[in-house]
Amino acid sequence: MIYLHVPFCRSFCTYCGFYSELPDKGCGQGFEAYGDAVCQEAASRRDKIASTLSVNTLYIGGGTPSVLPPSVLSRIVEALPYGPYEEFTLEANPDDVTASALSLWKSLGVNRLSMGVQSFDDSLLRWMNRRHDAAGALRAFSLAREAGFGNISIDLIFGVDGFPSWEESVRRAVSLRPEHISAYQLSVEDGSALSDMVAAGRYSEAPEELCRAQYDMLCRLLGEAGYVHYEVSNFALPGYEAVHNSAYWRRVPYVGLGPAAHSFDGKRRRWNTASLTYTSEDEVLTPEDIRVETIMLGLRTARGVDYGLVAGEACDRLLAEGALVRCGGTVRIPEDRFFVSDDIIRQLI
Ligand code: SF4
């Protein structure tokens, strides 16, 4: 499993606190230097990469991978000679989706596109400082279909106060029939423009009841449309659950390349620093770290975790309250409690 982080964005979204650089800053040389660094890292970690290929996936995320010049993207993919991949995902901004870009991505082996649509409400997209509008997202989606992409995921954001367009956005997403939908609640991240707006009193977080109602509506509409709710924030048509991300949640080892990328080998977590001239740091996980991580990741999925991992007084109480369901040797959070999964997990660990 390989993750490649592309730390470039053409503009910064209101809510985003991720590390990312404006490509113009490096005047194109930033892309080339980035390509050199990543290819070098891929070569020096070849053995490590080979040891993680029991799940043969490549995920190029960011940032905005779709802003990479074709020559740089091609060079990096060629420096990773492990394909064809069972799943090769590329995250794309709808504005970067053109017939020629799609044809390049296809020729490189990309077989899954993840599009950051976020909303189909133009006023909300402007508030988020997204580059595209709703028409642009629809155009990008149909271009991708025309180019033969049969596995497309759409990202949406809910829980934004003052924009009553959530139901319409979900319905429009469903009408496109993407194979996968991820929906995240807006959160105030350190370092984001949104956190400055909150500090200046120009935005207040949406009330819990509104977020809950929007999440419930999402679950209902996607359930009616045949999507499987297989992780708190993720829905897929049967057979289209994300292979790469599902393996993260099972704590399968992976290698992360590029600035700010994380790697994991089962016992040790390593992360590259957030800079174009990155180095790496790591930590060895204790048995308790591993237990907590297994519970936190597993209980966010519909599969749940082994009962033995969480057995105890808190687990018995949560089972009696219906906040957990036991099925043989497994315990999971039922869908109607997914919204409060963080609280349930906190009680267990
Ligand atoms: S949300 Fe994505 S596109 Fe927007 S600034 Fe963050 S990384 Fe870039």
- Residue 62 CA, closest ligand 1 atom number: 7
| Ligand 1 mean position, distance from CA 17 (Å) | 8
Q: Which helix (H) or strand (E) holds 48?
A: helix 46-50
**DSSP label of 285:** P
Per-residue pLDDT in tens (0 to 9) along the chain, 349 residues: 999 999 999 999 999 998 898 886 545 678 999 999 999 999 999 999 999 999 999 999 999 999 999 999 999 999 999 999 999 999 999 999 999 999 999 999 999 999 999 999 999 999 999 999 999 999 999 999 999 999 999 999 999 999 989 999 999 999 999 999 999 999 999 999 999 999 999 999 999 999 999 999 999 999 999 999 999 999 999 999 999 999 999 999 999 999 999 999 999 999 999 999 999 999 999 999 999 999 999 999 999 999 999 999 999 999 999 999 999 999 999 999 999 999 999 999 9
Q: Please give the pLDDT value at position 24.
A: 65
Q: Please give the pLDDT value at position 23.
A: 80
| Ligand 1 mean position, distance from CA 159 (Å) | 18
| Ligand 1 mean position, distance from CA 325 (Å) | 36
Q: Please give the pLDDT value at position 25.
A: 55
Q: Rounded distance, CA 156 to CA 219, Å?
A: 13
Kindly list the domain boundaries of the chain, sorted by start residue: 2-248, 287-292+303-349
| Ligand 1 mean position, distance from CA 13 (Å) | 5
Q: Whose CA is nearest to atom 2 of ligand 1?
A: 63
Q: pTM to 2 decimals? A: 0.96
Q: Please give the pLDDT value at position 221.
A: 98
Across 150-173, b (16+ Cβ under 10 Å) vs e yields: ebbbbbbbbbbeebebbeebbebb
Q: Whose CA is nearest to atom 4 of ligand 1?
A: 13
52: three-class secondary structure by DSSP: coil
Q: Which residues contact 137 (CB under 8 A, 6 or more apart)?
A: 94, 115, 117, 120
* Residue 143 Cα distances to 137, 147, 151, angstroms: 10, 6, 13
| Ligand 1 mean position, distance from CA 119 (Å) | 14
Ligand 1 pocket mutation, candidates 5, 10, 11, 18, criterion most atoms within 8 A of CB: 18
Q: Please give the pLDDT value at position 177.
A: 98
Partners of 57 in the β-ladder? 87
CATH number of 2-248: 3.20.20.70
Q: Please give the pLDDT value at position 28.
A: 61
Smallest CA-to-CA distance from 82 within 46, 106, 38 is with 46
Q: Which two tokens stand for residue 330?
A: 């497994």
E-strand stretches of the chain:
2-6, 57-62, 87-92, 112-118, 152-158, 180-185, 228-231, 234-236, 255-257, 262-264, 268-272, 280-284, 305-306, 325-327, 330-332
Q: Is 305 within 8 Å of 344 (Cβ atoms)?
A: no
